[in-house]
Amino acid sequence: MTMFLHSRTLIPGMVLTVLFAGAALISLVWVPYDTTVLDIANKIKSPSWAHPFGTDQFGRDILSMIMVGARTSIAVALVAVGIGMVAGVPLGLAAAARRGGMLDEFIMRMNDLVFAFPSLLIAVMITAVFGASALNAIIAIGIFNIPVFARLTRGAALSLWSREYIMAARVAGKGAARISLEHILPNVANLLIVQGTIQFSLGILAEAGLSYVGLGAQPPVASWGRMLADSQTMISFAPHLALFPGLAILLTVLGLNLLGDGLRDILDPKLRRART
């Protein structure tokens, strides 16, 4: 437990992350107001007791929209990071196991290829070809997470392959696949968790960016990015329309980054040693 206290960023990061994850979970069973029902007569109301964050241009409750939007953002980012890990980690392990070989070259050059494109550009291309939807946004963001995890895994695994205990395992007759799974993976897991948190926050930003330009989740699914885009022309007289979704994106990303930093402080053996 004391190790949690070593990191100053972990606790605030966790609080923010739990707050938004909690809001998203609660929205599955309950929201203050149904966000698919419009109430034009009550549009653009300032924050009040009935609507703590006010109402938007269609009279929807902004708090409810933020909660449902949290669900959209988190779902998109989570699945996208999942795609990146599930595809990227085995690729990285395989490349490290066959280091210097043809397979390694092939995997890493393919990664470089994907990495060479600005991620949003490809995301725009994917949504332009297959149509704008939350699913295509997930795929687009997910593809970009693959090389991130593949590189990280390979880099970390390479240094492990020269360790004595791996030598021992090889001498004991274990194959590359088994060593990768039983010895390499558990030892790179720390890094992956930290990177996962960072990618998660980038995923939320990417989803908001795609929705902002109209290529993410389509109405009536609430999305923070689209809330920002829709409120653009009204900022001058109804700033709360942009303020709350903007804050939601800011705080979620901040929370995840703090959490990622905190986890690294705790999990990274080098940093841990430096502290003690």
Partner 1 sequence: MRLGKIGSGLISVLALAASIGMAHAKSDIVVAMQLEPPHLDPTSAAAGAIDSVLYSNVFEGLTRFGPDGSVNPGLAESWEISPDGKTYTFKLHSGVKFHDGTDMTADDVKFSLDRARADDSANAQKALFAGIDSVEVVDPLTVKVTLSAPNGSFLFNMAWGDAVIVAPETIADIKTNPVGTGAFKFSNWVQGDRIDLERNADYWGTPAKLDKATFKFISDPTAAFAAVMAEDVNAFVGFPAPENLPQFEADPRFQVLVGNTEGETILSTNNKQPPLDNLNVRKAIAHAIDRQAIIDGAMFGYGTPIGSHFAPHNPDYVDLTGNSAYDPELSKKLLAEAGYADGFTTTLKLPPPSYARRGGEIIAAQLRAVGIETEISNLEWAQWLEQVFKGKDYGLTIVSHTEPMDIGIYARPDYYFQYDNPAFQKLFEDLTAESDPEKRSDLLKQAQTMISEDYVNGYLFQLAFPTVANAKIKGLWKDAPTQATDLTAVYWED
**Which of 15, 26, 28, 37 touches partner 1 by CB under 8 A?**
37
d(CA 95, CA 84): 16
E-strand ranges in 115-238 read none
Closest CB to partner 1 among residues 175, 219: 219
Q: Which range of residues in 153-161, 187-195, 230-238, 252-260 is near partner 1 by CB under 8 A?
A: 230-238
Closest CB to partner 1 among residues 59, 155: 59
What is the number of H-type helices and E-type strands within the chain?
12, 0
**Which of 14, 234, 242, 243 touches partner 1 by CB under 8 A?**
234
Q: Which range of residues in 13-21, 25-33, 39-47, 108-116 is near partner 1 by CB under 8 A?
A: 39-47
Q: Which residues fall within 8 angstroms of residue 229, CB to CB, at 6 or more apart?
A: 211, 212, 213, 214
Closest CB to partner 1 among residues 133, 190: 133
Q: Does 101 interact with partner 1 (rule: CB under 8 A)?
A: no
Question: Are 147 and 115 contacting, i.e. CB atoms less than 8 angstroms apart?
Answer: yes
Q: Does 159 interact with partner 1 (rule: CB under 8 A)?
A: no
Amino acid making up residue 190: N
Question: In terms of Cα–Cα distance, which of 148, 150, 122, 117 is closest to 136?
Answer: 122
Q: Does 40 interact with partner 1 (rule: CB under 8 A)?
A: yes
How far apart are CB 40 and partner 1 at their closest, in Å? 4
Q: Which of residues 235-254 bind partner 1 (CB under 8 A)?
A: 236-237
Q: Does 43 interact with partner 1 (rule: CB under 8 A)?
A: yes
β-strand partners of 61: 55
Q: Which range of residues in 18-26, 79-87, 110-118, 232-240 is near partner 1 by CB under 8 A?
A: 232-240
Question: Are 161 and 96 contacting, i.e. CB atoms less than 8 angstroms apart?
Answer: yes
Q: What are phi and psi of 52, to 5 degrees?
A: -55, -30
Q: Does 38 interact with partner 1 (rule: CB under 8 A)?
A: yes
Q: Does 232 interact with partner 1 (rule: CB under 8 A)?
A: yes
Radius of gyration of the chain (CA): 22
Q: Does 125 interact with partner 1 (rule: CB under 8 A)?
A: no
User: Percent helix, strand and coil across the chain, each rounded to 5?
Assistant: 75, 0, 25
Q: What are phi and psi of 270, to 5 degrees?
A: -65, -45
Q: Which of residues 206-225 bind partner 1 (CB under 8 A)?
A: 214, 218-220
Q: How many residues bind partner 1 (CB under 8 A)?
A: 20
Q: Does 58 interact with partner 1 (rule: CB under 8 A)?
A: yes
d(CA 56, CA 245): 11
Instruction: Read off the tokens for 244.
Output: 């709350």
Q: Does 9 interact with partner 1 (rule: CB under 8 A)?
A: no
Q: Does 41 interact with partner 1 (rule: CB under 8 A)?
A: yes
Instruction: Read off the tokens for 9.
Output: 């960023």
How far apart are CB 115 and partner 1 at their closest, in Å? 29
Q: Where on the chain is the footprint of partner 1 (CB under 8 A)?
A: 36-38, 40-41, 43, 57-59, 131-132, 214, 218-220, 232-234, 236-237
